[in-house]
Structure 1
Amino acid sequence: MASLCSPPLSSIATTHRNLHFTTTTPPPPLPHFPLPTEHSSKLTSSSSSSSSALKWRTGVSFFPSLFTKKGKSSEEIKDELLDAIAPLDRGAAATPDDQQRIEQIARELEAANKIMEPLKSSFLNGKWELIYTTSSSILKTKRPKILRPNGKIYQAINADTLRAQNMETWPFFNQVTADLVPLNERKVAVKFDTFKIGGLIPIKAPDRARGELEITYLDEEIRVSRGDKGNLFILRMADPSYRVPV
């Protein structure tokens, strides 16, 4: 999902039937980060994003508001975003024009964000379904369709333990877990630790399996995140009761 994109399992375990969970070198789906309890002390108010990490934010205000300048509520923007995403096969079928339109709507939603410290929000907990991304390492669009993940992709996050988990379903059922280190109120460093091929065979993740993920919009239904490679991730809550296994 750094982004919370893990390195491709195909490149890590070619001896295990060329199975794959989402990225190339540095980290993935999922997707996934909070710390409402004792971990909240790990946040450093003095930390600030680098100028390169802030480039995408040009023209985007994070001042919370119920309505955008055009008078649209956040609920209306969400509906527009979900409608635009629906026919795009998680982004695999998106044209450059589609991507531009989704980017524009996502920025409108980010500008209407009301949760300024998402890492402290209980809304972050649970299992999220990845419904759109621009990450080619997740979509695998250069592969034949039969070799791409065709089932749902999930990202789960534990607020109290600062753990995350990416999960593929049909046909590969690969998984990866990660530790999250808060960098500021809405951004985490992601360090992947264990892959599971087919959900069964554990493989230790390489040291290069790292990334960053920034949560730019959050409510009880939708999460928008930006990865350190410039990719956009849009996720919808699937199961708020789910917790990442320790």
Structure 2
Amino acid sequence: MASLLQSPTLLSQSSRSSYHHPTSSVTCFHPRYIHTTTQTRNLQSLISQRRNGRPKRNLIRRSAISEVSVLDPPPPPFGYQESKSELIASLKLKLLSVVSGLNRGLAASEDDLQKADDAAKEIEAVGGPVDLSIDLDKLQGRWKLIYSSAFSSRTLGGSRPGPPTGRLLPITLGQVFQRIDILSKDFDNIVELELGAPWPFPPIEVTATLAHKFELIGSSKIKIVFEKTTVKTTGNLSQLPPLEVPRIPDSLRPPSNTGSGEFEVTYLDADTRITRGDRSELRVFVLS
């Protein structure tokens, strides 16, 4: 063995032999092999330490900005809320596309009614139950009606008695609003109408305000009680004073028109409201 180490030629040959033939009795002389063997031993030593329960190195890195451990559990996730908001926004857009072009429901067919109802149910399912005892402030404001399933009956009263609509009649329905004041409990239905006039006079534009009071009867249901109707001319005749329409005495009022009604708010957010009435009427409003 000593003679082998003393001979440079033999040493060189042994190094090459040990590199190409791992089973050789002469090992660990080639520089590459020495380096690889050292890494292997270090890895084996680290594995042995962990198996023997020795203290481990702390591999947890910390953020330089927040000082929060990178491997720590994340804070309460906002991702679900974002996903839910995005889903509702998509469903609202779908509902608006379904009811667009239906003239607030006056031009709706049976197929249109079903599609609108299905689209509204999708939003209601994702949004969950409405609790007006907590979110009553969201009712505040002036809401624009963009769809009513009852208008498909072709009457201004929807599912209730009212004047019919049509091209040959002198009444044209304009915009419809609901003005709600949660402090005074005022609940006004505001209807814009255009009344035909004999030629050559232009049509008469009026705004009818049906004033109600409202109260909560449950977490999401509202009861409204009719008080009065006020008609105000607009356009060229806007200078005329408003006219209060006399209320029909209760004894002469038809049984179907009790002066009160109930509906449930099935979806409500900062700019959209969906309600379902006591006569199976679906209404969709946007804040104006």
Tell me: CA distance 1:183–1:176, structure 2 relative to 1, closer, same or farther (3 Å): same
Is the 8 Å Cα contact of residues 231 and 244 (structure 2) preserved in structure 1?
Answer: yes
Counterpart in the other structure of 1:118: 132
| Structure 1 residue 144 displacement after superposition | 2.2
**Residue deviations 1:9-51 (CA, integer Å, cap 9, x gap):** xxxxxxxxxxxxxxxxxxxxxxxxxxxxxxxxxxxxxxxxxxx
- Structure 1's unaligned 5+ residue stretches are 1-64, 239-246
Tell me: CA distance 1:117–1:149, structure 2 relative to 1, closer, same or farther (3 Å): farther
Matched, 1:196 2:230: yes
The letter of the residue matching 2:92 is: K
The letter of the residue matching 1:153 is: V
Measure the CA separation in 2 of the matches of 1:84 and 1:118: 27
Tell me: CA distance 1:147–1:229, structure 2 relative to 1, closer, same or farther (3 Å): farther
How does 1:39-54 map onto structure 2 within 5 Å?
Answer: none
**Secondary structure of the equivalent of 2:127?**
coil
**Secondary structure of the equivalent of 1:151?**
strand
* Residue correspondences, number: 172
**Secondary structure of the equivalent of 1:87?**
coil
| Structure 1 residue 214 displacement after superposition | 0.9
Counterpart in the other structure of 1:210: 260
Decide which of 180, 184, 200 is 1:161's aligned counterpart. Answer: 184
Measure the CA separation in 2 of the matches of 1:192 and 1:141: 18
| Structure 1 residue 66 displacement after superposition | 7.3
**Secondary structure of the equivalent of 1:184?**
coil
Query: Which one has the largest radius of gyration?
Result: 2
**Residue deviations 1:141-183 (CA, integer Å, cap 9, x gap):** 9432354443211001111222101111242311111111211
How does 1:1-246 map onto structure 2 within 5 Å?
Answer: 73-114=87-128, 116-118=130-132, 120-121=134-135, 122-135=137-150, 136=153, 137-138=155-156, 142-145=164-167, 146-171=169-194, 172-198=206-232, 200-206=242-248, 207=250, 208-238=258-288
Cα-Cα RMSD:
2.5
The letter of the residue matching 2:113 is: Q
Q: Say which structure, 1 or 2, has more relative contact order (CA 8 Å, 6+ apart).
A: 1
Is the 8 Å Cα contact of residues 194 and 205 (structure 1) preserved in structure 2?
Answer: yes
The structure whose residues are more often helix, as a share, is: 2
**Residue deviations 1:99-148 (CA, integer Å, cap 9, x gap):** 10000000111112256313542221000011000123435794323544
The letter of the residue matching 2:212 is: A
Measure the CA separation in 1 of the matches of 2:279 and 2:82: 30
Is the 8 Å Cα contact of residues 165 and 172 (structure 2) preserved in structure 1?
Answer: no
| Structure 1 residue 222 displacement after superposition | 0.9
Measure the CA separation in 2 of the matches of 1:116 and 1:217: 6
Is the 8 Å Cα contact of residues 180 and 190 (structure 1) preserved in structure 2?
Answer: yes
Is the 8 Å Cα contact of residues 208 and 232 (structure 2) preserved in structure 1?
Answer: yes
Measure the CA separation in 1 of the matches of 2:129 and 2:247: 33
Is the 8 Å Cα contact of residues 192 and 205 (structure 1) preserved in structure 2?
Answer: no
What is the aligned-residue identity percentage?
Answer: 24
Tell me: CA distance 1:218–1:118, structure 2 relative to 1, closer, same or farther (3 Å): same
| Structure 1 residue 237 displacement after superposition | 0.5
The letter of the residue matching 1:144 is: G
Is the 8 Å Cα contact of residues 193 and 208 (structure 2) preserved in structure 1?
Answer: no
